[in-house]
Amino acid sequence: MSFSIGIVGLPNVGKSTTFNALTKKQIDIANYPFCTIEPNKGIVEVPDDRLEQLAKLSKSEKIIPTTIEFIDIAGLVRGAHKGEGLGNKFLATIRECDAIAQVVRDFHAGDIIHVEGKVDPASDIETINFELIFADLQTVENSLKKTTDKLKGSSASEMKIINKQIELLTFLKQNLENGILINKISLELEQHKAIKSLNLLTAKPMIFILNVDESDINTLPQIDILQNEIVIPICAKLESELAELAPEEVSEYLNQSGITMTGLDRVILESYKKLNLITYFTSGPKETRAWTITAGTLTPQAAGKIHTDFEKGFIAAEVVNWQKLIEAGSEVAAKEKGLIHLEGKLYEVKDGDVCVFRFSV
C-alpha cells in the first residue's frame, strides 16, 4: 500500500527543490514564479531498517518497502481563488491526497526572489491556508446547493436525512467563512465519513516543511501559527545535494554534523505518523515486505492488504514481534521459545508485527 502527500506553497519557497530531493527526480527548477506548470509526481520508499534485518534472517531474494507518492503543484499566490497565478488550477490534483505538506520559506538567500517581497513564514502560511479555505468553501457551497435542491419532492424520512446533511454542510461553511480549517474543528466519526467524498483540502492532515538556511537546520524557529503542528526544518538546497551522494557519503555527513537522519527522511516518517499509519511485515525466502495499515486495523483487514481472498477466507494469523524474531535467530527458534502467538479476527495488528496468515480458499 502506498499513500500520497500533496506539496503546496508559494512560488520560490523551495517546493520543487524539496520534491526533487525527495524523489531524486530531475524537474524544472528556476528562479522565477510558476516554473512548475504541470503537477510533478514521484514515488519514494519509506526508510525502515527493520526490513534489512528481517531479510537477512529469512535469506530473502528481495525487499519491498512501503512507498509514498509526492505530488508537487504550481505555487499558490495571494488571490489564487480569483485566478491569480496557476496554483489554484491544480488544487484539484491534490484533493485525492492523504495529507498535505506545506513548504514554507525561512531562508534568506538574497538572489532568490520572494513573490511577496519579504521573508515572512507566518504570512506565507496564512496565504496558503486562506487559498485552501476558499477552495473548500466553493466545494461546500456547491454541495450545499445540490443537497438543498434534493428537498423538493422528498419524503418525510428522506427530508430528515437531507436536513441533517444540510446542517453539517452549513456548519462547515460557517467555520470556513471564519477562516477555520476543517481539521481544526471537532467532528464526530459519522460526520467525518459523511464529508469524506468532498475531499476537502483543509480536512486533511498537514505537516509543515520549513525551508531554512543550512546554519539553522538544527534550530526550530518559534512561529506562533505553527504551535502544536508538525514542523520539520530542512535546507532544501543541502538536501538536494545529499540526494546526489552515495548512501555511505550521506552517513558520513550526518555523523560529522551530529544529525540522526536527513530532513527528507524525517518528512517521510513524520508524514507516516501524521496519517496514523503503522507497518507490519511478511518475510520469507522469496521476499521481505512492509505493509502499511492504519493503527487499530484487525487481522482480517490487514491480511486483505495482501489479497482480498486473505480477508474473505481469514482463519487465523501467526504473529511475532520483529525484534523478538531477530533475537531468536530463526522462525523455528521463535516457535520453540513460544514467541509466535496465534491470533484470531479481533486482534489489532501492531507496528513491527511479522505475520503469517492462514486462510481458506
Annotated binding residues: 12-17
Q: Which of 201, 141, 207, 123 is nearest to 177 (CA)?
A: 141
DSSP 52-117: HHHHHHHT-SEEE--EEEEEE-PPP-TTGGGT-SSGGGGGGGGTT-SEEEEEEEE---TTSPPTTS
Cα distance between residue 253 and residue 78, in whole Å? 39
User: What is the C-alpha to C-alpha distance for residues 201 and 172, in angstroms, rounded to an integer?
Assistant: 13
Q: What is the DSSP letter of 298?
A: B
- Write b or e for each residue in 247-271: b if 16 or more Cβ atoms lie within 10 A of its Cβ, otherwise e: eeebeeeeeeeeeeebbbbbbbebb
Calculate Rg over the CA atoms of the chain.
23
Q: In this structure, are strands 2-8 and 67-72 parallel, antiparallel, or unpaired?
A: parallel
233 neighbors 262 (Cβ within 8 angstroms): no
Contact 7, 103 (CB under 8 A): yes
**CA–CA gap between residue 58 and residue 146 (Å, rounded):** 56
Feature table: binding site for ATP: 12-17
Task: Give me 22's grid cell.
Answer: 525527495
Q: Within 13 Å of residue 276, how many CA atoms lie on the same side as its CB?
A: 6
